[in-house]
Amino acid sequence: MGRMSHGQQPPGANPYGQNPYGQNPYGNQPGYGQQPQPPYRPQPYPPQPGPGQPPQQQSPWQPPLQPQQPPSLHTPVPAPLPRKAVMSRREILSLTTDSVPGREVTEVLGEVVGVAVRPKISGPDAAVLLAEHRQEAVDACVAMARAASADAVVGLRFDSTLLDASGTAEIVAYGTAVKLSPTSPS
């Protein structure tokens, strides 16, 4: 045998510690840090019954049963009707006109404002929700007029502004708080 320098393997030796056929040359011993494994022994299949013989007892494992849907015994529920906006009654008049029919404006108290801030609105009820938000702004405007002892809000107007990119909106109702002459008996 020729001379070998440090790190060389003898001719024909596998540098990975196994023979080229993948078998452990030392028998069935575990590698470093591994637990010994028992040899694999295939289990025989259970004998199948021949023609004319009763079937044998099934194995304990069975595939899960698929649940069966019972026939529907109820009638389908119809979709709800779309919501509708309703008119709000307030303690004092709030009008889009500049006067009140049959009454005289005796004193102008000043401007009144009501604000409602709401998130983006979408969906089938969007129109109803917008109307409700406007009503909330008018309610706030009327509350300011009542605090000033007004009899009515005239010249009622609306304005709206998007506050941010997410669709948050400011709905503003504004008008003029006034005092009215007493009603005349008719």
- The tens digit of pLDDT for each residue in 122-166 reads 888 888 999 999 999 999 999 999 999 999 999 999 999 999 999
Structure tokens at 152: 């009515």
Q: What is the mean pLDDT of the chain?
A: 80
Domains of the chain: 93-180 (3.30.110.70)
Q: Give the three-state DSSP class for 75.
A: coil
Instruction: Give me the pLDDT at residue 82, please.
Output: 79
Residue carrying structure tokens 């102008």? 108
Instruction: Give me the pLDDT at residue 156, please.
Output: 98
Instruction: Give me the pLDDT at residue 173, please.
Output: 98
Cβ pair 100, 152 in contact under 8 A: yes
